[in-house]
Structure 1
Amino acid sequence: MSDTVTRNSDVLHIAFGVDENYLRPMGITIVSIIENNPGLELVFHVFISSISSASRMRLDRLERMFARPVNLHLVDEMPGVKDPASGKGQAHISKAAYIRLLIPEALRDFTDRVLYLDADILCVGDISGLPHLDIDGRTAAVIHDAGAGSKRAGLVKKGQTLDNYFNSGVLYIDIPRWIERAVTSRALEKIADPVLDLRYSDQDALNLVLDGDVLFIDEGWNHQYGLTGKLKKGRVGMDIPSDTKFVHFIGPMKPWRSWNPHQSKELFLKYQALSPWAGEALDDNFSPREIYVYSRFMYRSMFQQRRWLSGLIWYGKFLHRKHKEG
């Protein structure tokens, strides 16, 4: 993999913080970005605490296939930091989420701006204007969180008031200003504070630290798409606004699950077919907690749709996991 250093303002640096479980989704995100922006100069950065030789080979192949630099950065696991999966409804989130806090310092000698993306995102539009976005002297350009009201209310109960609340899955960061304001260390202090006991860990912490120092941009840059809500309503088609650039699949339900009946699975497979992961079976590598969450959701959904056999199969998985957790 490359070790590319450039401060060319026409080049867009894009960074991810992942663990081994999210390497394939991240790779598919990269393919979707390149396919929708063939003329854009791109440099990718992958931050991870450990990586298998097979995954390293796939990233090398990804770089060769698309002639775009993919820089690998190995980082510490931060063992002393609170596990975000311990929060209610956060079982699908790992400590890799904290890696985004390390990215600006690590890239200070590469570029002055970086786009951070979560790995559960697919690009569906033109992002070529981003390298020239004026963020008006702020530390980052951000997008409102879909659940901003309830998340702000949760922080108010802890004595913390905010002007607004953003989603940390898409961040366009001014690296020198981030470092000057010591955002990383201040956010880690918030996460570690037992009195605050932040439910949404680093996202809450970044909102507290960057309150009033971010530029809110159009929601098409981070269209937060909750598959759980869509499937509960029986909606299986991709219904996104025409100006969407990034579709962010928030929540525990992801497009790359083999059982996913939503059209998002076909969108994911479209880009996977162009990648080094082409032909690989979709993922059902659930954690124990995810098995419980997914099986409960699936048996209820199947019964609602009168798909009795599928519902019974998922109900059996749910009871098995419930018995183990009990």
Structure 2
Amino acid sequence: MINILLSTDDNYVMPTGVLMTSICENTKSEVTFYIMTNADFKDESRSSLKRNIAKYNQNIVFIPVQPSATKDFPFGRPDQPTHVSVATYYRLLITNLLPKNVDKIIYLDGDMIVMDDIADYFNEDVDGYAVGAVIDQDMDENVKDERLEYPKQDGYFNAGSLLINLKYWREHHAYEEFIKVMHEKSNIIIFHDQDVLNYVFHDKKKWLSPRYNIQTEFLVAKKVARYGKELIKAIKNPLAIHFCMRGSKPWMIRCDNPFTEVWRKYKSISVWANSPLQNNVSGNLKNRIRIFLVKYHLWKETYYLTIPKIEEL
């Protein structure tokens, strides 16, 4: 049994469902999806996610989270990102929310797709570690001034894709540690639960291959040059693609990520096959210019243009 943890609200149902489709299409094993939602999650949304995976005979469990569970968490300050909801903190609650017999689980953000059997990821050995994780695309920026008050050589991971050792979390009272950090260090928490997870687990994580979390900027030429052969190998054999560029998502009309058409392939076999793409054409002028330059290969510092074309992967 492979356990997968997702989080969504009514506005993110379609992307979450497409992610689930990609997992079901590529995974041979039995899967249980645990889906954390806000307390007023609509019955219609719940029903659509169930219908979407019905043909795969996989399992789905919904876990409603009450507003009181996150009411005191650091959120909404001017120095914090505004494009996420307080639901991003749900991950920190899982030792209290998930069944006690679940000792290991994969967490994935909703703006991802899976392109290979997710058992490869689930079967990674994280005994003795709190999480298995991939470096964050902005790791250098997040550790350079030791903002989170731990040695910068410990690095900074992206929390959008995590192999979580729940047994370790319970045995080491991780939830209590999270609460303590958010109470005592709230002033240094900018990237919400991702900062909290890095603070608590900075020396308790296992670095995993980038193939488990190919973030958008990993496809940028300068990042490929920075991380070298391991990243090139991962790009050519990806398991999970993470569309983490704000304002450029594959369900939007304009998305310049090279894996956009792969995401749309999975949408076309989901229950949202006929749902229109969102209109982002009239968005930020700078972003529109960037997309135009990338499309016509005029901006050499954007995507790593020497990787195989998507149809060759």
TM range (shorter): 0.7 to 0.9
Whether 1:19 and 2:14 are equivalent positions in the alignment is no
Shift of 1:40: 1.8
Q: Deviations over 1:149-181 (max 9, x none)?
A: 110124x14644342211111111111211222
Whether 1:248 and 2:242 are equivalent positions in the alignment is yes
Q: Report if the CA contact (8 A) 2:7-2:36 is conserved.
A: yes
Shift of 1:42: 0.9
Give unmatched runs, 5+ long, in structure 2. 222-231, 297-313
Q: Report if the CA contact (8 A) 2:135-2:210 is conserved.
A: yes
Q: Which residue number corresponds to residue 75 of structure 2?
A: 83
Tell me the secondary structure at the aligned position of residue 244 of structure 2.
coil
Residue 60 and residue 302 in structure 1: after superposition, are their counterparts in 2 closer, same or farther (change >3 A)? closer
Q: Deviations over 1:191-246 (max 9, x none)?
A: 3446633221211111110121111111111111149969xxxxxxxx97222100
Q: Report if the CA contact (8 A) 1:141-1:214 is conserved.
A: yes
Q: Which amino acid aligns with 1:57?
A: S
Normalising by structure 2, what TM-score?
Answer: 0.79
Shift of 1:57: 1.5
* Number of matched pairs: 280
Residue 122 and residue 180 in structure 1: after superposition, are their counterparts in 2 closer, same or farther (change >3 A)? same
Give unmatched runs, 5+ long, in structure 1. 1-10, 231-238, 308-326
Q: Which residue number corresponds to residue 173 of structure 1?
A: 164
Runs of 4+ in 1 over 6 A off after TM superposition: 227-230
- Aligned mates of 1:254, 1:246 — CA distance in 2: 15
Q: Which residue number corresponds to residue 141 of structure 1?
A: 132
Q: Which residue number corresponds to residue 37 of structure 2?
A: 48
- Aligned mates of 1:30, 1:182 — CA distance in 2: 30
Q: Report if the CA contact (8 A) 1:22-1:119 is conserved.
A: yes
Normalising by structure 1, what TM-score?
Answer: 0.76
Q: Report if the CA contact (8 A) 2:15-2:110 is conserved.
A: yes
Residue 67 and residue 213 in structure 1: after superposition, are their counterparts in 2 closer, same or farther (change >3 A)? same
Q: Which residue number corresponds to residue 275 of structure 1?
A: 270
Residue 177 and residue 129 in structure 1: after superposition, are their counterparts in 2 closer, same or farther (change >3 A)? same
Residue 159 and residue 137 in structure 1: after superposition, are their counterparts in 2 closer, same or farther (change >3 A)? closer
Whether 1:207 and 2:198 are equivalent positions in the alignment is yes
Q: Deviations over 1:28-82 (max 9, x none)?
A: 1111111122x12211111011311221220221232221111111012323322
Tell me the secondary structure at the aligned position of residue 4 of structure 2.
strand
Q: Which residue number corresponds to residue 102 of structure 1?
A: 93
- Superposition RMSD in Å: 2.9
Tell me the secondary structure at the aligned position of residue 164 of structure 2.
strand
Give the one of 143, 158, 183 matched to 2:174.
183
Q: Report if the CA contact (8 A) 1:28-1:122 is conserved.
A: yes
Shift of 1:26: 0.8
Q: Which amino acid aligns with 1:248?
A: H
Q: Which amino acid aligns with 1:191?
A: M
Q: Which residue number corresponds to residue 286 of structure 2?
A: 297
Percent identity reads 24
Q: Which amino acid aligns with 1:46?
A: I
